[in-house]
Structure 1
Amino acid sequence: MLKLGTVFSGIGAIEHSLERLGIDYKIAFACDNGGIDIFSKKIERNLLAIDKEIEELQIRLLSLTDERYEDANELNIQEHFEHIQTLREELENVSVKVGEEITENQLIISKMSLFFDWVSMRNEKLKITPLTESFQDKQLTEISKAHYYYLLKDIKDYYKNVKDEELLNKILGIPLEQYEAHFKAFVERSSVKKLNSNLTEILDIINMLLERLSSVEILDDLSKINDSDKKKEYVDNLYKPKKKSNFVLQSYLANYDIDENHFHWNASFLDGSQYKDQIDLFVGGSPCQSFSMVGKRRGLQDTRGTLFYEYARLIKEIQPKVFIYENVKGLINHDGGNTWATMQQVFDDLNYNWKFDVLNSRNYGIPQNRERLFVVGFRKDIELSNEFSFPKPIPLEKTMQDFLLDSVSGKYYLNKKGVEFVTMEKNINKRYTQIDGEIQLCQKANQQFNWHGDFVFVEENKDQEKMMEDLEKYFLSAKVEKYVMSSGTKNFYSKPKIDLKIARPLLTTMHKMHRAGVDNYVTTQGRIRKLTPRECLRLMGFCDSFNIVVSDTQMYQQAGNSIVVDVLMEIMKSIIASLPEILEGENYKYKNEIEQLSLF
């Protein structure tokens, strides 16, 4: 029996592939926190809040012992803290510039002054933000211009929440709509956009540092615990308050046979030595927003990027016979190839013979343009029956339409507003916009689809008229017909960007499709609808036997985060051809030391 271990396990793509192949296996352990973040803080978007956070970070840094500081060094914590201080200076400079622009806007600055005059005269406690409260005893002219924009935003939000119209008119002196129009025009300035961009960056780095500092402190505590069960109990207790929010865990337990005592929360805190020499196949990746074409591409500097090192550490500690690593294609050329060069060196140091390739799902039976990097490694002391090679492409015989359900609930159909949105010229022409594609294109952040919307168009069926009465309001408008039916063909194919032979990406926020950057659409019974969670699972290679026990929103995300099952099936066939003993998990042939030095 094959003994399996996984990290970033998701909904079990490798488990499902083994089941589809009829391979007998046992899950030794799995690990996935379901995207739950217990380290980040919700920090207000202003300079005062950021300064307070930086001060607290400084105190935590100073509290590091020599042993802890060594771990902190490995995580570049001091370097990140210095980067935060640099960003803080840049943010203040931009904030001052925006503050000066505010003083030039007579209407806005006069209303801000009026607000502070009014606030200073009030005796009772106002329901204002901590930022505004910290300045409520001052005149506007006494406040640094670096704070003007943040105060302006707070004041605007405050006005919006005032229910007493008479009081509001007294404070403002003009209709709220007029004030908001001036505010909206102001925030469209390039200087304000730069300010908000800088804000987002510094808050991201602060939270990244918070996670790294917390990890150092937790690892220090874990190093003092010898028993692996007690270590797991310690980590479980960290996440216990949010256990009900781990929807990945719910899906995993509903579909696979695993002792929950061997389901771990965080790869960084997983002691792989407890599974040493017990694992035949170790599968995982590392979250890859840092490397994808649409992620922020911070690479190994990102907290998520450093999880690659955790994956490598676990290989070293566990010593599986074979490992499979998966990530986005984008990491190969990230940072001019330096990131991938670093990762290759790490793989070389693991004492495994390994190969890599970029595989596209469309070449392995799934109509989806989803290119992923795969690395397969064999322990050097194990003798192979045949040299490993990645599977050759196979002809694609199915289109996306073959994966659709025959009958779908009305809740998946777009209303008039949704139809108008997805068929707007600016959206229909976007790279990720498509209706009725036959193969999906997927190159989004992480392994995710980021579902802004994958949709289908289904031909009108008179026999189903009664069943579809509740959907009458979703009939295609003339505007939709212009795009979807312009070619006049019965399959509704029109522009190449809408109707591709291969559909564009299944994306993870599909449930919230009313945003810029919509994607694929399916048209059914003369109407446009979203793909259902079941259809999304099918497009990832999961059989209908997969139990859906979470909400649609969660299932869209989980499907989008998965590895394509059919690709893993083909990789497994190649692994078995090289190492048939993996099926039984025993009787491996081992090389002597001289043979281990030979090339792969």
Structure 2
Amino acid sequence: MLKLGTIFSGIGAIEHSLERLGIEYKVSFACDNGGIDIFSKTIERNLISVDKEIEELEIRLSSLTNESYKDANELDIQEHFEHIQKRREELETESIIVAERILKERFLLSTIDNFLEMITNSRVKMKYSSFLGSFQGMQINDISKSHLYYLLRDSRDFYKGLKDEELIHSLLGVSLKEYEVHYKAFVETSAVRKLNSHLTEVIDTINMLIERLSTVEILDDLSKLKDFRKKKKYIDNLYKPKKKSNFVLQSYLANYEINEEHFHWNASFLDGKQYKDQIDLFVGGSPCQSFSMVGKRRGLQDTRGTLFYEYARLIKEIQPKVFIYENVKGLINHDGGNTWATMQQVFDDLNYDWKFQVLNSKNYGIPQNRERLFVVGFRKDIELKEEFSFPTPIPLEKKMQDFLLDSVSGKYYLNKKGVEFVTKEKNIMKRFTQIDGDIQLCQKANQQFNWHGDFVFVEENKDKEKMMEDLEKYFLSEKVEKYVMSSGTKNFYSKPKIDLEIARPLLTTMHKMHRAGVDNYVTTEGRIRKLTPRECLRLMGFCDSFKIVVSDTQMYQQAGNSIVVDVLMEIMRSIIKSLPEITEGKNYKYRDNIEQLSLL
């Protein structure tokens, strides 16, 4: 029996692939927190709140005495803090630049004046933020320019919260609608957009440092516990208030057999020594957002990126016979290739023979254009039957349409507003929507703009009766028909195909209908709809036996985060050719003339 260990286990792509291959296995441990964050804080978007967090970080830093928090592979924590301080100074300068522009906008300036006078004289009884309250009794001339933009922004939110149109007009001198025109024109300027972007970056970086410091403090506590069960109980208690929110755990437990004592929350706190020499196959990755082509690409400096080192640490501690690592293709050229060069050195230091290759799902039986980096490593003291090679591509015999359900609920059909959005000319030209065409390229997750799917096709009318009361009554307009049936526009599609034979990769944010993006739509009998969760699972290689026990929103996200099962199946077939013993988890042959592993 193959003994399996996984981190960032998700909905069990490797488990499902082993089941489809008919390989008997046991899940020795799994680890996934379901995206739950117990460390980050909600930090108000102003300099006063940022300064407060920086002061608290400085106090926490000064109390650290354990030198183990310094890791040569990561940014030094002190350096991280100094980076935040530097960015805070830059925010000050950018805030003043924006303030100078506000001072030239008489109307906007008057709205701030009116607000300050109002909260000072208590003309309106209404709750407002502590940030706004800190300016009570002050006039504009008393306020530092660096706070002026944030005061304008929050006072605008206050005005919007007022329900009395007459009161709003008396305070602003114009209607709320007219005020919004002035305000939006100002905040869309490049200086304000730049300031908001940098403020977001600083807050994110602060939360990363909070997570790193919290991790150091927790690891220090764990180091004092010698019993693995006590360590797990300590971590379980940290996450206990959030357990019901771990929807990944719910999906995993509903579909696979595992003793919950061996389902862990956080790879950073997982002590791999308890599983040393007990694992045949170790599978995982590290969050891809920091390496995504469309993400901010912070890479290994992002706390999510540094989880790669936790994966490597666990390999060292566990010493599995074989490991599989998966991530987005984008990390190969991240930071000019420096990130991947660093990761390759880490893999070299593990004392494994390893290879890597980018594989595309469309080449392994799934009509989805999803490219991912895979690394496969064999422990050097294990004798292989033959040298490992990644699987060769196989002809694609199925089209995307083969994975679709015959009949779906009306809730998956786009309403009039949704149809208008996906067919809007500017979104077509910006590639925010994909209506028809052939194979299309798209990256994973962390898209800045997303909606519900990546393709549209027109299904044949199969004359099947449908429960019309369960279907929305909105049918394709002439305009929509034009786009569904068209051969595309410049820089869009080159072939007049109605059906997308190969889907775009599923995105983890498919459920967010309010965000534009490159997503998956289909049209059934001439009506546009989004993919159902079951169809998403099928396009990831999961059989219909997979139990869906969470909401559609959660299932979309979990499917989008998964590894494609069919790709893993082909990788496993190649692994078995090199190491047949792995299917039984015993009778391995060891090399007599190899130097012993340094950690054994």
Quickly name the TM-score band, shorter chain normalised: over 0.9
- RMSD of the TM alignment (CA)? 2.3
Q: Give the deviation of 1:72 after TM superposition.
A: 10
Q: Give the deviation of 1:525 after TM superposition.
A: 1.3
In structure 1, the residue corresponding to 2:79 is in which secondary structure?
helix
Return closer, same or farther for 1:138/1:342 CA change in 2, 3 Å cut-off. same
**Counterpart code for 1:162:** L
Q: Give the deviation of 1:461 after TM superposition.
A: 3.0
60-69 or 80-89, larger mean C-alpha shift: 60-69
The answer to whether residue 282 in structure 2 is matched with residue 285 in structure 1 is no
Q: Identify the residue that residue 372 of structure 2 maps to in structure 1.
A: 372
**Counterpart code for 1:278:** Q
Asked if structure 2 preserves the Cα contact closer than 8 Å seen for 1:369 and 1:504, the reply is yes
Q: Identify the residue that residue 133 of structure 1 maps to in structure 2.
A: 133
Q: Give the deviation of 1:381 after TM superposition.
A: 0.5
Q: Identify the residue that residue 546 of structure 2 maps to in structure 1.
A: 546
TM-score by length of 1: 0.94
Looking at structure 1, the residues matched to 106 and 187 of structure 2 have their Cα atoms a distance apart, in angstroms, of 15
Q: Give the deviation of 1:521 after TM superposition.
A: 1.8
In structure 1, the residue corresponding to 2:290 is in which secondary structure?
coil
Asked if structure 2 preserves the Cα contact closer than 8 Å seen for 1:455 and 1:528, the reply is no
Looking at structure 1, the residues matched to 247 and 309 of structure 2 have their Cα atoms a distance apart, in angstroms, of 26
Q: Identify the residue that residue 478 of structure 1 maps to in structure 2.
A: 478
Q: Which runs of 5+ in 1 are unaligned?
A: none
Asked if structure 2 preserves the Cα contact closer than 8 Å seen for 1:280 and 1:582, the reply is yes
The answer to whether residue 271 in structure 2 is matched with residue 271 in structure 1 is yes
The answer to whether residue 333 in structure 2 is matched with residue 333 in structure 1 is yes
466-475 or 202-211, larger mean C-alpha shift: 466-475
67-76 or 148-157, larger mean C-alpha shift: 67-76
Query: Which aligned pairs between 1:196-345 and structure 2 lie closer than 5 A?
Result: 196-345=196-345
Q: Give the deviation of 1:586 after TM superposition.
A: 0.6
Q: Identify the residue that residue 419 of structure 2 maps to in structure 1.
A: 419
Looking at structure 2, the residues matched to 216 and 522 of structure 1 have their Cα atoms a distance apart, in angstroms, of 48
| Fraction of identical pairs, as percent | 81
The answer to whether residue 533 in structure 2 is matched with residue 533 in structure 1 is yes
Q: Give the deviation of 1:140 after TM superposition.
A: 1.4
Q: Deviations over 1:81-126 (max 9, x none)?
A: 1110111011111100111101100111012112212222228975
TM-score by length of 2: 0.94
Q: Identify the residue that residue 97 of structure 1 maps to in structure 2.
A: 97
Q: Which runs of 5+ in 2 are unaligned?
A: none
Return closer, same or farther for 1:441/1:552 CA change in 2, 3 Å cut-off. farther
Asked if structure 2 preserves the Cα contact closer than 8 Å seen for 1:452 and 1:515, the reply is no
Q: Deviations over 1:352-375 (max 9, x none)?
A: 111111111000000011111111
Q: Deviations over 1:283-341 (max 9, x none)?
A: 00000111111111111111011000000000000000000000111111111111111
Asked if structure 2 preserves the Cα contact closer than 8 Å seen for 1:281 and 1:322, the reply is yes
Q: Identify the residue that residue 177 of structure 1 maps to in structure 2.
A: 177
Return closer, same or farther for 1:438/1:262 CA change in 2, 3 Å cut-off. farther
274-283 or 77-86, larger mean C-alpha shift: 77-86
In structure 2, the residue corresponding to 1:304 is in which secondary structure?
coil
Asked if structure 2 preserves the Cα contact closer than 8 Å seen for 1:542 and 1:565, the reply is yes
Asked if structure 1 preserves the Cα contact closer than 8 Å seen for 2:412 and 2:532, the reply is yes
In structure 2, the residue corresponding to 1:474 is in which secondary structure?
coil
Q: Identify the residue that residue 453 of structure 2 maps to in structure 1.
A: 453
Looking at structure 1, the residues matched to 85 and 216 of structure 2 have their Cα atoms a distance apart, in angstroms, of 21
In structure 2, the residue corresponding to 1:34 is in which secondary structure?
coil
**Counterpart code for 1:153:** R
Q: Give the deviation of 1:528 after TM superposition.
A: 0.6
Looking at structure 1, the residues matched to 498 and 182 of structure 2 have their Cα atoms a distance apart, in angstroms, of 38
Looking at structure 2, the residues matched to 33 and 474 of structure 1 have their Cα atoms a distance apart, in angstroms, of 40
Asked if structure 1 preserves the Cα contact closer than 8 Å seen for 2:457 and 2:500, the reply is no
Q: Identify the residue that residue 565 of structure 1 maps to in structure 2.
A: 565
Asked if structure 1 preserves the Cα contact closer than 8 Å seen for 2:74 and 2:306, the reply is no
Asked if structure 2 preserves the Cα contact closer than 8 Å seen for 1:10 and 1:34, the reply is yes
**Counterpart code for 2:156:** K
Q: Give the deviation of 1:180 after TM superposition.
A: 1.6
Return closer, same or farther for 1:387/1:596 CA change in 2, 3 Å cut-off. farther
Asked if structure 2 preserves the Cα contact closer than 8 Å seen for 1:435 and 1:523, the reply is no
Asked if structure 2 preserves the Cα contact closer than 8 Å seen for 1:71 and 1:216, the reply is no
**Counterpart code for 2:335:** D
Q: Give the deviation of 1:457 after TM superposition.
A: 3.6
Q: Identify the residue that residue 576 of structure 2 maps to in structure 1.
A: 576
**Counterpart code for 1:200:** T
Q: Identify the residue that residue 113 of structure 1 maps to in structure 2.
A: 113
Q: Give the deviation of 1:43 after TM superposition.
A: 0.2
Q: Identify the residue that residue 406 of structure 1 maps to in structure 2.
A: 406
**Counterpart code for 1:302:** D
